Structure 1
Amino acid sequence: MSKTTTTSQFRLVGQLESFVIKKGDKIKYLRMKVEEKEYWLKIPKKLRSEIDINMIPGTWLEVTGNREFKKKKGFFELEVSQVTLLPNPDKPCAVILSESESSSVGKILVCQKSSCWKRGGKSVCQQLEQELEQQGLSDRVKIKLTGCLKQCKKGPNVVIMPHKARYCQVQPGEVDKLVNKHFTT
């Protein structure tokens, strides 16, 4: 069985939120806010001693590193390779520098049986289409209408692949959070 990983490089410009410290004084993660989104960035052991733990929240940073999709966890892990203090930042941004991913990232299964459809499945499906288009993911993430997902009383039901994440009672207003959680950095 071949083991393929989905990796790419990233660049973030934003503000420090805090550090996640484990076992007393070891920095494990850097929490960073870019626009309205928060990122948890893994700090490798070799960089831990180089990072000033006394930086105050709100400090502007530019962080570069590698983004890798973790199949078992079902999300992208961001590992830092460089942290730079920015005294005069241009503006917050999140950029994927290079992709080595296949053209298809995943599928979203939406139950189209009458119970789910009556409970708002059609609206959820339409919102998913709009959100994927807005995020520029419509060519890489496909929506597939399915038969019963065996949770009729908890409809509308959605399953996100390849993560196999199952969501019940999905509302159209929650669609953007689901797409961001599973298909963006």
Structure 2
Amino acid sequence: MDYSIDCIRYFIIYSRFVTEAIGMKKTIGICMGSSCFARGNREHLELIENYLHGNKIEAEVKFSGCRCRNECGRGPNIEINGCLYHEVDTGTLLDLLVYHFSDVNIGV
């Protein structure tokens, strides 16, 4: 199923609002399936760890690997705060990390 850009933006904004409104811990789930891992999630794993550590927000973000979601043809796939992103490259991942986590309060 394909979603329009407006629909995707709505889900991103809504998930961010809900996460902040009820005080939920922000999350990152990186697909550890062989296809996603070979397509870039091997490098993304280190990039995310470095971003969280460099910004001192490891304790505020739940970062975990996840199983294949049968979206292999659209990988590498990464889920951030409930939004599943497809065909994520390094530049896009950095943009997503800044977008989702630039407002995280350290030590809260």
CA displacement, residues 91-128 of structure 1 (integer Å, 9 cap, x when unaligned): xxxxxxxxxx9996211111101111110111111111
1:112 partnered with 2:32: yes
CA displacement, residues 154-179 of structure 1 (integer Å, 9 cap, x when unaligned): 11101112xx1111111123222111
Distance 2:51 2:13 in 1: 25
| Partner residue, 1:126 | 46
| Partner residue, 1:149 | 69
| Partner residue, 2:7 | none
SS at match of 2:40: helix
What residue identity is the alignment partner of 1:146? C
Residues matched between the structures, number = 89
Runs of 4+ aligned structure 1 residues displaced above 3 Å come to 101-104
Q: Which of 1 and 2 has greater Rg?
A: 1
| Partner residue, 2:3 | none
Identity rate, percent: 27
Q: Cα–Cα, structure 1 residues 72 and 172, in superposed 2: closer, same or farther, change >3 Å? A: closer
Q: What runs of 5+ residues in structure 2 fail to find an aligned partner?
A: 1-11, 104-108
* RMSD of aligned residue pairs (Cα, Å): 2.4
1:75 partnered with 2:16: yes
What residue identity is the alignment partner of 1:110? I
Choose which of 130, 135, 151 in structure 1 pairs with 2:55: 135
Distance 1:140 1:107 in 2: 9
Q: Cα–Cα, structure 1 residues 136 and 111, in superposed 2: closer, same or farther, change >3 Å? A: same
Q: Normalization by structure 1: what TM-score? A: 0.43
Once the two structures are TM-superposed, the CA of residue 134 in structure 1 deviates from its matched residue by: 1.6
Q: Normalization by structure 2: what TM-score? A: 0.70
Choose which of 64, 72, 78 in structure 2 pairs with 1:158: 78
| Partner residue, 1:180 | 98
Distance 2:46 2:24 in 1: 20
